[in-house]
Amino acid sequence: GEENRGWYTLAVALDFERSGVGYSASARRVLETLVKYAKEATKNGKPLSKDPIVRRKLAERFIETDASRWLSYRVAWMQSQGMVPNAEASMSKLYGTELTQRVAATGMDILGMAGQLSQGSKWAPLQGYIQRSYLSAVSSTIAAGTSEIQRDIIARRGLGLPRA
């Protein structure tokens, strides 16, 4: 890049890193695992998939994972058109990373106390996959700019608000 424009070059590169498609795909994978589990597992002799609370939570997460996917597609389209997706990339990254946390938390709710069992425990549902997802989801809200930084970028560059 140009001399004395290093920070700008780095910031633009981050906009291209933050498409969010990976977060959307990760959340969808966890959600699909939970749906399969709900179809196969029982609680009090009834399939989890018939529990209205489980159904509602899974449906809500399904809507959110689809919205996240479309946000990331918009960012990718902007990139393919030579545009710099400033606020849009931050929106996709923020929504996608916080969605991975919501999906993992939904999984922990559905699995109950057994969801806390880690990989290696013979009693861990789904071999501890949801527990690992829950713990690792936090780091995604920090990498490539924390959620607070993303909100600030959205406020400044997307909404035109002054620095706080």
Cα first-last separation, the chain: 29
> What pLDDT does 144 receive?
83
Angle at 67 between CA 149 and CA 32, to 5 degrees: 110
> What is the distance between the alpha carbons of residues 34 and 27, in angstroms, rounded to a whole number?
11
Which residues does 123 contact at the CB level (< 8 Å), separation at least 6?
Answer: 114, 117
Look at residue 7 and tell me whether its pLDDT is greater than 90.
Answer: no
For the chain, what is the HEC assignment?
CCCCCHHHHHHHHHHHHCCCHHHHHHHHHHHHHHHHHHHHCEECCEEHHHCHHHHHHHHHHHHHHHHHHHHHHHHHHHHHCCCCCHHHHHHHHHHHHHHHHHHHHHHHHHHHHHHHCCCCCCCCHHHHHHHHHHHHHHHHCCCCCCHHHHHHHHHHHHCCCCCC
Neighbours of 163 (CB within 10 A): 6
Mean pLDDT of all residues in 79-107? 95
pTM, two decimal places: 0.88
- Domains (range + CATH), the chain: 6-158 (1.20.140.10)
Q: Is the Cβ–Cβ distance between 163 and 156 less than 8 Å?
A: yes
Mean pLDDT of all residues in 52-76? 97
Band (2; pLDDT cuts 50, 70, 90): confident
Look at residue 43 and tell me whether its pLDDT is greater than 70.
Answer: yes
> What is the distance between the alpha carbons of residues 79 and 139, in angstroms, rounded to a whole number?
25
